[in-house]
């Protein structure tokens, strides 16, 4: 030791060096901006300890987020609905007691009602049969008026064909909407049920009017008279459809009777047409194919209504047709098939008047 050296100073220097080495063990890897006591931004060194603490904090945040998501999933599962037995349904949803299981409970959300179309229950096939049918008629309409020979026919003929196609789209679309939303609430069920019945009335009128137009193509008075009569019956049917009692389950035979009677009113002008035009060989032979489709259409409608009114086949095998091919689903299938048959008959009649024989088109019968 030098003579002038102070032992205490040397010891202090040694301790200071040791302390410096220890403090420098947390080496700096960067700087962060902090706010000093005067409110000014200043740099602050980032150490290994701070990085470790930050990583731990980030991991804790991820864990909390995972727990929250798991809690949300559990909440969704808790709120998920299950199909139920007929006896567990509220009174306003009890429509067919021969369908025992597979019913939707009340779903007080339009979103939940919509997503229910992708689950299997008593209404699934009812929704899809007429939903797909509605889409089919939209595609057919676009094809007929854009791509086919009917794109260039006179406006009045486009209107007549459009009347049937529009009412078919409305009927099938409103039916699909009703069966989708019928479980939402009593008020929504009643409202869309009325729209469903209105769609049926409109389809019946929309099927009859174009046939009257082409059938009595050259007979102005009978054509106008029967079209006006059809419109009066349609309005009467619409008024009846808006009565609350009309939608109740025990009024099923009454509903079938009202709509069947409306449809059968077309028999009167059909007999009139046959008596006045049936002897015309040229026209009778030209309309022979159309008559086949019209008779097929009527037969399909009648069969479908019988299935609906008598609740066949589930009345003979209760609980066996809860999900597949019960009476209402069969009714939907027959209605769609009948509408297609009617379209074939209607276009055949239009072809006779518009594209076949010049004399027929000019009413020189």
User: Which residues contribute to the annotated binding site for Zn(2+)?
Assistant: 179, 328, 332
Give the integer Cα–Cα distance in Å for 126 and 325: 9
Sign of torsion over alpha carbons 275, 279, 282, 284:
positive
For 185, which DSSP code? -
Give the integer Cα–Cα distance in Å for 123 and 81: 15
Give the integer Cα–Cα distance in Å for 202 and 241: 11
Cβ atoms of 139 and 100 within 8 Å: the answer is: no
Q: Which residues are annotated as part of the binding site?
A: 179, 328, 332
Give the integer Cα–Cα distance in Å for 36 and 225: 95
Give the integer Cα–Cα distance in Å for 130 and 174: 9
Q: Dihedrals φ, ψ of 321, to 5°?
A: -120, 35
Cβ atoms of 342 and 207 within 8 Å: the answer is: yes
Give the integer Cα–Cα distance in Å for 230 and 224: 10
Cβ atoms of 294 and 273 within 8 Å: the answer is: no
Instruction: Give the CB-side neighbour count of residue 149, counting CA atoms within 13 A.
Output: 7
Q: Helices (H) and strands (E) in the chain — how many of each?
A: 13, 2
| Helix axes of 124-142 and 155-181: crossing angle, nearest 10 degrees | 160
Give the integer Cα–Cα distance in Å for 291 and 299: 12
The first and second tokens of residue 111, run together, are 């979103």
């Amino acid at each position: 030791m030098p003579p002038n050296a102070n032992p205490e100073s040397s010891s202090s220097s040694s301790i200071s060096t040791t302390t410096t080495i220890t403090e420098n063990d947390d080496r700096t890897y960067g700087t962060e901006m902090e706010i000093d006591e005067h409110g000014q931004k200043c740099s602050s060194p980032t150490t290994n300890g701070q990085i470790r603490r930050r990583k731990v904090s980030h991991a804790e945040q991820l864990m909390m987020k995972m727990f929250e998501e798991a809690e949300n999933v559990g909440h969704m599962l808790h709120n998920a609905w299950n199909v139920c037995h007929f006896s567990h349904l509220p009174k306003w949803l009890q429509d067919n007691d021969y369908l025992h299981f597979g019913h939707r409970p009340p779903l007080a959300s339009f979103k939940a009602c919509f997503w229910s179309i992708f689950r299997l229950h008593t209404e699934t096939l009812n929704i899809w049969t007429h939903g797909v049918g509605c889409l089919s008629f939209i595609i057919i309409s676009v094809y007929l008026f854009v791509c086919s020979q009917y794109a260039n026919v006179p406006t009045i003929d486009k209107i007549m064909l459009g009347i049937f196609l529009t009412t078919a789209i409305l009927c099938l679309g409103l039916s699909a909407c009703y069966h989708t939303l019928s479980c939402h609430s009593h008020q929504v069920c009643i409202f869309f049920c009325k729209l469903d019945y209105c769609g049926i009335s409109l389809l019946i009128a929309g099927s009859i009017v174009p046939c009257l137009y082409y059938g009595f193509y050259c007979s102005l008075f009978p054509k106008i008279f029967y079209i006006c009569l059809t419109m009066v019956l349609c309005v009467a049917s619409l008024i009846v459809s808006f009565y609350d009692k009309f939608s109740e389950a025990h009024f099923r035979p009454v509903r079938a009777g009202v709509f069947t009677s409306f449809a059968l009113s077309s028999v009167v002008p059909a007999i009139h047409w046959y008596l006045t035009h049936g002897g015309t060989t040229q026209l009778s032979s030209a309309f022979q194919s159309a008559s086949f489709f019209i008779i097929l259409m009527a037969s399909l409608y009648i069969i479908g209504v019988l299935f609906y009114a008598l609740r066949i086949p589930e009345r003979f095998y209760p609980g066996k047709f809860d999900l597949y091919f019960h009476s209402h689903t069969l009714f939907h299938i027959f209605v769609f098939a009948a509408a297609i048959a009617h379209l074939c008959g209607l276009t055949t009649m239009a072809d006779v008047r518009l594209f076949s024989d010049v004399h027929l088109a000019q009413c020189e019968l």
